[in-house]
A = this chain, B = another copy of it.
Amino acid sequence: MKNTVNHEKNDKHEQILRAAIKTFARKGFYNTRISDIAKEANVADGTIYLYFKNKDILLVSLFEESMNQIIQMVNERLSSITDPIEQLRAFIKIHFELIKKDKFLAEVISVELRQSNKFIKEYKNIKFKEYLNIISGIIRDAQAKGLVAKHLMPGIIKRMVFGALDELTLIWVLAGDSKYSIEKLCKDAAEVLINGIAIKK
């Protein structure tokens, strides 16, 4: 989030996006007023419309821009790993690192993504699919290397992996008093998911 290339002092765009994330996380998309975001961002209501066409687009932009950064970072980190199983483990690790780094964003993505995919008109969340396809890419590679059974369909596995991680995200993010540490969640998730798909030697 912080590794963006915006070096403007007065970066309203970023300012509004952060305020939107925080407010959507707290109140949800439909219960958030543009004026709530404006207040949080310390700008006038109208200013938001100078940077984002409307409320829907604000949420969409938030997804797009966040996913962009995440995807870039994930790809970078994975590029130095060759074993697909280790790549999957790393993917899971990075997922939880990101959640820890930006709880609000994690909450917005986890809670609002489904709704928006379906109900924000004309929106196909390409970036989200790209994120999911990192997983299926790893699976395919693993299958090619004989590490994962060929009959498991990568399109299904990627969703199961994401679903499992996303649900764990939720419990960490929604519980103020996290019963489970990020590290434990990460460790168990990696163990179960890798055991689940890897061919046993």
Contacts and interface: CB of A to CB of B under 8 A. Distances in A.
Nearest to A121: B31
A168 B112 CA distance: 18
Contact of A163 (B28, B165, B196): B165
Given A28-B119, A115-B28, A115-B115, A168 B179 contact: no
Interface in A130-171: 152-153, 155-157, 159-168, 170-171
A115 B28 CA distance: 7
Contacts of A156: 168, 180, 184-185, 188-189
A27 interface: yes
A87 B162 CA distance: 24
A5 interface: no
A66 interface: no
Contacts of A168: 156, 159-160, 163
Name A's interface SS.
Answer: helix
Interface of A: 27-28, 30-31, 110-112, 114-115, 117-119, 152-153, 155-157, 159-168, 170-171, 174, 179-180, 184-185, 188-189, 191-197, 200
6 contacts: A27-B119, A28-B115, A159-B168, A163-B164, A164-B167, A193-B196
Given A118-B174, A163-B168, 15 more contacts: A111-B114, A152-B188, A153-B180, A156-B185, A156-B188, A157-B192, A159-B168, A160-B168, A163-B164, A163-B165, A163-B166, A163-B170, A164-B167, A195-B197, A195-B200
